[in-house]
């Protein structure tokens, strides 16, 4: 009999009763058995959240102080679509940073590749949306495969610098506007003639919102599925100790390249979705600062967790939008200039909150409830 068999037949530590003896008596129930019966299936919570997200456009609920109008109003749905797009993008970045431990400063390049490639294919070649999106995603995936094959020859800070160099090269190329294709600093607008009418106009904001929900669901589902697979277990080992994985006879390089490629492909898909939601694309999403923003989103929510990147990106995007509106309000005009100037900058406030979060609540927002419960238990124990 193994240790597992012994543990499974032992009475639960919280039960003061002895297991009944004799033939035909039911076996003892352990704490793990009781917890297992009460636990919901793994798909229950994601399915419920997805159902709620899909049903939001049918709700007329108003939340004063949080959203400007009802949940089904175009401004609210547009803001939620932004939060979901960046939530999916942050989840794709967490596949590198949180799951494998790869510090890349070039993730924005693949996001921009998807957006600019789709805009050019629809604007110049006048291809329909489906073909433009497919080619843009395949192109972004191949680009991440190529650049990852070069960048992953080094590790640590060297990897961050190499990916930063590639991202800066792409940003400069787009800003220089070669052949007057990228639009330079003005960017590119969406060619609505190549897009189905269901995704054009304020009246169809709900369809854009559903497209953002679909992208966030795909990105999150792919990352979760891969993390739970045998490949994901190797990723966990690489993040913990890459040298130990190599000593065990597993070459870490192909696994890191796979994560790099999948993350780049999901980012390219996010770029296409971003193009639809915004109706255009600007060089602001090509900079290394944008990748640093993704890093802040992931760390804010909780790197390497199931819901952390999605939650952190959604809250960051929402706070950035609301703080920008607050900085332009009349209430700030009455404040002294030395107070109003920094408070009117969303990045100043968000950066301060991020620093406080890192110092006082490491592990991100998803770890906050557990830390609060642990603190309360310690406080009760100290009183006894």
Distance CA 23, CA 129 (A): 69
Contacts of 143 (CB under 8 A, 6+ apart): 109, 110, 113, 264
What's residue 231's pLDDT? 94
Cα(105)–Cα(112) distance, integer angstroms: 13
Rounded-to-integer distance, Cα 88 and Cα 224, Å? 12
Instruction: Say what the pLDDT of residue 261 is.
Output: 96
Dump pLDDT digits (tens) for 63-80: 887 888 888 899 999 999
pLDDT at 335: 67
Strand partners, 281: 188
Phi, psi of 322 (to 5 degrees): -70, -40
pLDDT of residue 288: 77
Model pLDDT for residues 344-366, shown as the tens digit of each residue: 676 777 777 778 777 777 788 88
pTM of the shown model:
0.84
Residue 131 is predicted with a pLDDT of 95
Task: Give me the half-sphere count of Cα atoms (radius 13 Å) on the Cβ side of residue 71.
Answer: 12
How many C-beta neighbours within 10 Å does residue 22 have? 5
Q: What is the pLDDT of residue 133?
A: 95
Residue 58 to residue 51: CA distance in whole angstroms: 12
Phi-psi region of 183 (alpha: psi -120 to 50; beta: other; left: phi over 0): left
- Cα(161)–Cα(14) distance, rounded to whole angstroms? 53
Residue written as token pair 């607050």 = 326
Residues 345, 328: contact at Cβ < 8 Å? no
Residue written as token pair 């065990």: 248
CATH 1.10.3470 fits 40-324+341-383, yes or no: yes
Burial status of residue 325 (CB atoms within 10 A of its CB: 0-12, 13-18, 19 or more): exposed
Q: How many whole angstroms separate alpha carbon 245 and alpha carbon 237?
A: 6
Spell out, as residue ranges, where the chain has pLDDT lower than 50.
Answer: 1-26, 31-32, 34, 36
End-to-end CA distance of the chain: 41
Beta-bridge partner residues of 62: 70
The Cα 111–Cα 33 span in angstroms is 45
Task: Spell out the domain ranges in the chain.
Answer: 40-324+341-383
Using the 8-state DSSP alphabet, how is residue 281 labeled?
Answer: E
Torsions phi, psi for 215 (to 5 deg) = -65, -45
pLDDT given at position 3: 45
The structure tokens listed for 118 are 């789709």
Enumerate residues 6+ apart whose C-beta is below 8 A from 382.
Answer: none
């Amino acid at each position: 009999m193994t240790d597992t068999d012994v543990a499974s037949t032992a009475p639960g530590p919280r039960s003061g009763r002895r297991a009944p003896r004799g033939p035909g008596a039911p076996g003892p129930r352990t704490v793990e058995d009781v917890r297992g019966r009460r636990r919901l299936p793994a798909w229950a919570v994601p399915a419920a959240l997805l159902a709620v997200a899909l049903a939001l456009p049918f709700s007329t609920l108003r939340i004063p102080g949080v959203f400007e109008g009802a949940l089904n109003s175009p401004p609210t749905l547009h803001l939620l679509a932004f939060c979901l797009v960046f939530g999916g993008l942050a989840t794709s970045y967490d596949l590198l940073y949180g799951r494998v431990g790869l510090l890349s400063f070039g993730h924005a390049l693949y996001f921009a590749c998807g957006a600019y490639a789709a805009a050019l294919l629809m604007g110049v070649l006048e291809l329909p949306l489906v073909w433009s999106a497919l080619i843009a995603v395949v192109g972004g995936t191949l680009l991440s495969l190529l650049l990852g094959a070069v960048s992953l020859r080094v590790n640590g800070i060297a990897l961050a610098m190499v990916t930063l160099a590639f991202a800066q090269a792409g940003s400069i190329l787009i800003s220089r506007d070669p052949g007057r294709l990228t639009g330079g600093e003005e960017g590119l607008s969406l060619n609505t003639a190549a897009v189905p009418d269901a995704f054009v106009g304020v009246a169809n904001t709900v369809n854009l919102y559903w497209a953002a929900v679909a992208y966030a669901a795909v990105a999150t589902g792919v990352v979760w599925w891969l993390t739970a697979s045998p490949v994901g277990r190797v990723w966990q080992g690489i993040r913990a100790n890459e040298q130990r994985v190599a000593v065990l006879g597993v070459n870490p390089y192909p696994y890191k390249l796979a994560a790099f490629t999948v993350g780049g492909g999901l980012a390219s898909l996010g770029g296409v979705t971003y193009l639809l939601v915004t109706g255009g694309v600007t060089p602001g999403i090509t900079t290394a600062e944008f990748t640093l923003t993704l890093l802040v989103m992931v760390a804010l929510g909780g790197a390497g967790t199931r819901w952390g990147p999605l939650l952190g990106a959604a809250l960051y995007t929402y706070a950035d939008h609301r703080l920008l509106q607050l900085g332009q309000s009349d209430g700030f005009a009455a404040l002294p200039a030395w107070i109003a100037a920094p408070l009117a900058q969303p990045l100043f406030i968000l950066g301060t909150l991020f620093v406080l979060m890192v110092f006082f609540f490491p592990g991100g927002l998803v770890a906050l409830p557990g830390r609060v419960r642990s603190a309360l238990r310690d406080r009760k124990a100290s009183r006894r």
